[in-house]
Amino acid sequence: MISTVLSQFSIPFLMGSSLNVWSEALAGFSLFGLPLGLVILAAIPLVFIALYSLTYGVYGERKISAFMQDRLGPMEVGKWGILQTIADILKLLQKEDVVPTSADKFLFVIGPGVLFVGCFLAYAVLPFSPAFIGASLNVGLFYAIGIVALEVVGILAAGWGSNNKWSLYGAIRSVAQIVSYEIPAAIALLCGAMMAGTLDMQQIIISQSGSLGFAHFFLFQNPIAWLPFLIYFIASLAEVNRAPFDIPEAESELVAGYFTEYSGMKFAVIFLAEYGSMFMVSAIISIVFLGGWNSPLPNIGTIALNDLTNGPVWGAFWIITKGFFFIFVQMWLRWTLPRLRVDQLMYLCWKVLTPFAFVSFVLTAIWEVYVP
Amino acid sequence: MQELDTAGLGSIRVTRKNDHTVVIEKDLATEQMVLAMGPQHPSTHGVLKLECLTDGEVITQAEPFLGYLHRCFEKCCENVDYPAIVPYTDRLDYLAGMNSEFAYALTVEKLLDIEIPRRVEFIRVIVAELNRIASHLVAIGTYGIDLGAFTPFLFCFRDREIILGLLEWASGARMLYNYIWVGGLAYDVPSDFLKRVGEFVTYFRPKAVELCNLLTKNEIFVKRTMGIGIMPAEVAINYGWSGPMLRGSGVKWDLRRNDPYSVYPELDFNVPVPDGKLSVVGDCLSRHLVRAFEMEESLKIIEQCISKMPSAEGFNPRSAIPKRIRPKAGEVYGRAENPRGELGFYILSDGKSTKPLRCKARSSCFVNLSAMKDLSKGQLLPDLVAIIGSIDIVLGEVDR
């Protein structure tokens, strides 16, 4: 009985024979000569970011932190406070859009936008399912690493444009941090790319599929992969400014860092960008090391769990679950650890993570060449 | 070679070669930035303002500016009767109201030279030590927040809530108690109070260790505090430091032992002083550890007080309270060990009035904070936050 229910998700017309059938069909769709399909294609990740940051990002984080801290969290608006986020958004919408008089208006206004665009552009190459990817680039991973650097511009614009000393501190710290941590992060991801032999996101995931489920994931394929996995996870925390590396917005030191002067919807956009990049790095780590949309369940004898739980819909489920798991770990760390100091952060990046990333790079190369 | 440093122009280096060619090198103009930290800043613990001169992230000079919470305590005291000053003392160090009242009551009793019932003394010590634990919990919790760890703060406040509940039960107020009066107490403690306090002690003993470990066993916390803001013992003494700050520098100085008052000589407790194994003596971590260990000692004191407490039979907490306080002409200085250090009251009486001619409060936070300029020189901005947090200031007491 269960197996028939499960198999509904992998019936042929949904599955298709080739990759990216959904997104290709969408891209080809046009109405009155307008490429409406492309718009929908771009809107899907946007809607996803908005929905996920409203539910899991804001409400989930508040509840998770509350349970970690012996509290209840939001309880007033709606049952268990589920409508709290909506109330917050309504409040933010009503707020006056303040631009400080001494601020550089252009930079101040454009900052949050650039920040969000930087994170959103990376979603173009995130495969949400075997049948769906925004843009199937053969250098997808490279593009994702590169385009995120655009966020730095947004942060710098926001921090400099605010004309506030705390914002400036936050922006400078943030830029130094993100630019530095891109190096170990990129090298760690290269280990994954080396194991897959490609930079195409879908191909990386396909090379991790197999009937044994999780055993095919790069993390479990070779013993060295743990090193780049950990390095990338730590570096990704720093890249998205999460604790213990949240020094750009260190509230006890820099008031609120680069967004001290922001309020209302601009503030909300900055937060949306933060949650967007949180999912983005979590998705990348699960794509490169944990099989992306592949099911982790193995085929056990005659029970073909792996075959049953693979397919376009299941794929979307798995990649989002894996991404959410890493976001949970990010939240967990945030509410557990104190914050590092600026120099300790740089020490960790340049003297610990970067050398180890190189070591893992060389070891992975040796493993790939000499171990079949 | 000659070096000139003109303000605002960066350094201009004038080099003379062979006595006739003059080479002038001009560096990039680098000015130091004035950064006003506070009075509204998340980690200045109230309304402290620090005007920092910063070179990048490095603080070259930090000057504390006080007075944002000044409420004319000393002037007020000159205009009210002796017993009416007690509520004002609550508002000095509002996190340790009982201790402030205790210090004030001791001073006036010294001036009047009156005998206090034994049960009153024990109750005073119990509530003061409970308040000391509550105060240290705030200090430890907020120190965690200063360094970015939010969760220990809430755990600390959970346990502080129990203490506040107990004190509210005894006095009727949660923070500003007006409980310890000159010559006695406002009320006797409720009949079940001591039992509940005993239960709290057994509940809190393992929790105190847990709360301590939550931060001191954390690698990042230790990295952030160890070796930061080191204050040598001699300098600390010269600055007039007291309390956990002075003990953090390795000086075994506790007024409960060194200038004993009330029933403290009868009680058995240690004065924790860092030995340099867990921390560098005199750094932020030492001061934090001293507070953490002191909670344990306070629990010991409370336990002993409960077992030694005389019975409530025929006890009137107001029996020794003088009807009218009009001390003989003279002056007195009384002091007590507060959670933040030595709180002293200097009272001058003219012998005619029921109001003090002068009442000066020697605030421990104020004295401890005066070393800020020395401590912050050359530190990074995040370290400055760590140092302010370790001083554990209460602006109510600093500004009075």
* Cα-based distances in Å from A114 to A143, A262, A269: 17, 15, 10
* Residue B41, in any domain of the structure: no
* Residue A297, in any domain of the structure: yes
pLDDT, residue A2, reads: 46
Same domain, B11 and B129: no
Identify all chain B residues contacting A243, using CB atoms and an 8 Å cutoff: 148
Q: Report residue A34's pLDDT band, with 50, 70 and 90 as the boundaries.
A: confident
Residue in chain B lying closest to A256 (CA): B42
**A84 or A249: which carries more pLDDT confidence?**
A84
Q: Report residue B375's pLDDT band, with 50, 70 and 90 as the boundaries.
A: confident
* Residue B37, in any domain of the structure: no
Write the CATH number for B121: 1.10.645.10
What is the total count of domains within chain B? 2
Residue A348 C-alpha, separation from nearest chain B C-alpha, in angstroms? 12
* Residue A248, in any domain of the structure: yes
**Cβ count near B33 (within 10 Å):** 14
> Do B51 and B36 touch, CB atoms closer than 8 A?
yes
Per-residue pLDDT reduced to its tens digit, A40-57: 777 788 888 777 877 788
Cβ of A246 within 8 Å of Cβ of B218? The answer is: no
Identify all chain A residues contacting B149, using CB atoms and an 8 Å cutoff: 336-339
The tokens describing A152, both together, are 């730095």
* β-bridge pairing B58-65 and B180-181: unpaired
Same domain, B110 and B10: no
Per-residue pLDDT reduced to its tens digit, B89-133: 888 888 888 999 999 998 988 888 888 888 888 889 999 999 999
What is the total count of domains within chain A? 1
* Residue B49, in any domain of the structure: no
Q: Is the torsion defined by CA of A9, A10, A13, A17 positive or negative?
A: positive
Residue type, B332: V
Q: Report residue B324's pLDDT band, with 50, 70 and 90 as the boundaries.
A: confident
> Do A147 and A118 touch, CB atoms closer than 8 A?
yes
Residue A286 C-alpha, separation from nearest chain B C-alpha, in angstroms? 27
Segment holding B51, helix H or strand E: strand B49-55
pLDDT, residue B23, reads: 62
* Residue B36, in any domain of the structure: no
Per-residue pLDDT reduced to its tens digit, A312-341: 778 888 888 898 999 999 888 888 888 888
Query: How many Cα atoms are found within 13 Å in the side-chain-facing hemisphere of B144?
Result: 26
* Residue B44, in any domain of the structure: no
pLDDT, residue A355, reads: 92
Identify all chain A residues contacting B158, using CB atoms and an 8 Å cutoff: 70
b (16+ CB within 10 A) / e for A52-74? bbbebbbbbbbbbbbebbeeebb
> Do A26 and A37 touch, CB atoms closer than 8 A?
yes
Closest CA to B389 of B276, B238, B244, B267: B244
pLDDT, residue B354, reads: 85
pLDDT, residue B346, reads: 92
The tokens describing B108, both together, are 């006036």
Per-residue pLDDT reduced to its tens digit, A140-191: 888 888 888 888 888 888 888 888 888 888 888 888 888 888 889 999 988 8
pLDDT, residue B131, reads: 92
pLDDT, residue B135, reads: 92
* Cα-based distances in Å from B252 to A52, A128, B268: 56, 64, 16
Beta-carbon contacts of B376 under 8 Å, excluding residues fewer than 6 positions away, are B50, B52, B59, B61, B62, B229, B384, B387
Cβ of A338 within 8 Å of Cβ of B154? The answer is: no
Residue in chain A lying closest to B228 (CA): A341
Beta-carbon contacts of A308 under 8 Å, excluding residues fewer than 6 positions away, are A3, A6, A7, A10
> Do B371 and B383 touch, CB atoms closer than 8 A?
no
Domain of residue B139 covers: 75-399
Question: For chain B, how big is the Rg over CA atoms in Å?
Answer: 24
**Residues across chain A:** 372
* Residue B13, in any domain of the structure: yes
Query: How many Cα atoms are found within 13 Å in the side-chain-facing hemisphere of B307?
Result: 9
Residue type, B256: R
- Cα distance between residue B164 and residue B160, in whole Å: 6
- Cα distance between residue A124 and residue A276, in whole Å: 12
> Do B75 and B359 touch, CB atoms closer than 8 A?
no
- Cα distance between residue B367 and residue B240, in whole Å: 6
pLDDT, residue B27, reads: 63
pLDDT, residue B133, reads: 92
Residue A235 C-alpha, separation from nearest chain B C-alpha, in angstroms? 16
Whether the pLDDT of residue A14 is over 50: the answer is no
At which residue do the structure tokens 């500004």 appear?
Answer: B399
> Do B251 and B237 touch, CB atoms closer than 8 A?
yes
Identify all chain A residues contacting B144, using CB atoms and an 8 Å cutoff: 338
Closest CA to A243 of A353, A327, A333: A333
* Residue A24, in any domain of the structure: no
Same domain, B216 and B81: yes
Identify all chain B residues contacting A252, using CB atoms and an 8 Å cutoff: 42-43, 145-148, 385
Mean pLDDT of A187-200: 87
At which residue do the structure tokens 């421990």 appear?
Answer: B364
Same domain, B283 and B181: yes
At which residue do the structure tokens 């007020």 appear?
Answer: B76
Please name the member of A169, A251, A338 whose beta carbon is closest to the beta carbon of B220.
A338
* Residue B312, in any domain of the structure: yes
Mean pLDDT of B326-336: 86
- Cα distance between residue B384 and residue B366, in whole Å: 17
Whether the pLDDT of residue A8 is over 70: the answer is no
Whether the pLDDT of residue A3 is over 60: the answer is no
Closest CA to B207 of B294, B320, B296, B281: B296
pLDDT, residue A150, reads: 86
Please count the helices (runs of H) and the strands (runs of E) in chain B.
15, 11
Same domain, B18 and B87: no
Q: What does DSSP assign to residue A56?
A: I
pLDDT, residue B18, reads: 61
**Alpha helix (H) residue ranges in B35-96:** 73-77, 86-90
Per-residue pLDDT reduced to its tens digit, B227-282: 888 888 888 899 888 888 888 888 888 888 888 888 888 888 888 888 878 888 88
Identify all chain B residues contacting A169, using CB atoms and an 8 Å cutoff: 57, 381
Q: Residue B274: is the preceding peptide bond cis (ω within 30°)?
A: no
Q: Report residue B12's pLDDT band, with 50, 70 and 90 as the boundaries.
A: low
Residue in chain B lying closest to A339 (CA): B148
Q: Is the torsion defined by CA of B262, B266, B272, B273 positive or negative?
A: positive
Domain of residue A291 covers: 2-19+98-370
Mean pLDDT of B77-81: 89
* Residue B147, in any domain of the structure: yes
Same domain, B329 and B226: yes
At which residue do the structure tokens 């993100």 appear?
Answer: A178
Whether the pLDDT of residue B384 is over 70: the answer is yes
Query: How many Cα atoms are found within 13 Å in the side-chain-facing hemisphere of B111?
Result: 30
At which residue do the structure tokens 């552009």 appear?
Answer: A121
Please name the member of A71, A254, A338 whose beta carbon is closest to the beta carbon of B147.
A338
Residue in chain A lying closest to B38 (CA): A255
* Cα-based distances in Å from A22 to A27, A136, A207, A287, B368: 9, 12, 21, 19, 68
